[in-house]
Amino acid sequence: MVILGVDPGLHYCGYAIIQKEGNKATLLNYGYLSLSPSKTVASRLSEIHSFFGDSISKYNITHISFETPFLGKNAQNFLKLGYVRGILYLLAHNHGLIITEFSPREIKQSLTGYGAAGKDQVARVILALFPRMEKPKKEDVTDALAVTLCGLWKHSKSQNC
């Protein structure tokens, strides 16, 4: 099983890829896609499609996990995140991936034991779980790692996310 976790965004899109073989899980790749706000939304969506399509093929990804959106203060941002999610759904369908989604509360609860934990608390847990990893420049990366772990745990049945 190879899981791609994505923290969707049109400015920064965090991602992490974990492979599980038997009882061993290996972090294959992680980072963030930086998308220029000066480019059109269509251009950024095309970059997202290309990047994740290439990653799915390169790493033989079998599962994809991402966070369910919540309507915050800005409905426009919520709508634009829907575009990114649409790209991820399309890629998942075209590559036969198993999709799992988690609410922000579920992810925080699984990682920290507290559903209202802050991003800094999630990041501390991620860094404790991956001690060789340097602290990422963007929280989008630790968020992506968190959602990837939830996908891993859900499909490994070792923990409920």
82-105 pLDDT, tens per residue? Answer: 899 999 999 999 999 999 999 999
Strand 98-102 to strand 2-7: parallel, antiparallel, or no bridges (unpaired)?
unpaired
Assess if residue 80 is contained within a domain.
Answer: yes
Domain tally, the chain = 1
CATH code (residue 143) = 3.30.420.10
Residue 61: which domain range?
Answer: 2-156
For residue 109, give the DSSP letter.
Answer: H
104-124 pLDDT, tens per residue? Answer: 999 999 998 888 888 889 889
Assess if residue 161 is contained within a domain.
Answer: no
Residues acting as catalytic residues? 7, 67, 140
Least Cα distance to 19 among 3, 5, 37 occurs for 3
Longest dimension (CA), the chain: 45
Assess if residue 75 is contained within a domain.
Answer: yes
Question: For residue 151, which phi and psi values (nearest 5 degrees)?
Answer: -65, -45
130-144 pLDDT, tens per residue? Answer: 888 888 888 999 999
> Is 126 in a helix, a strand, or coil?
helix
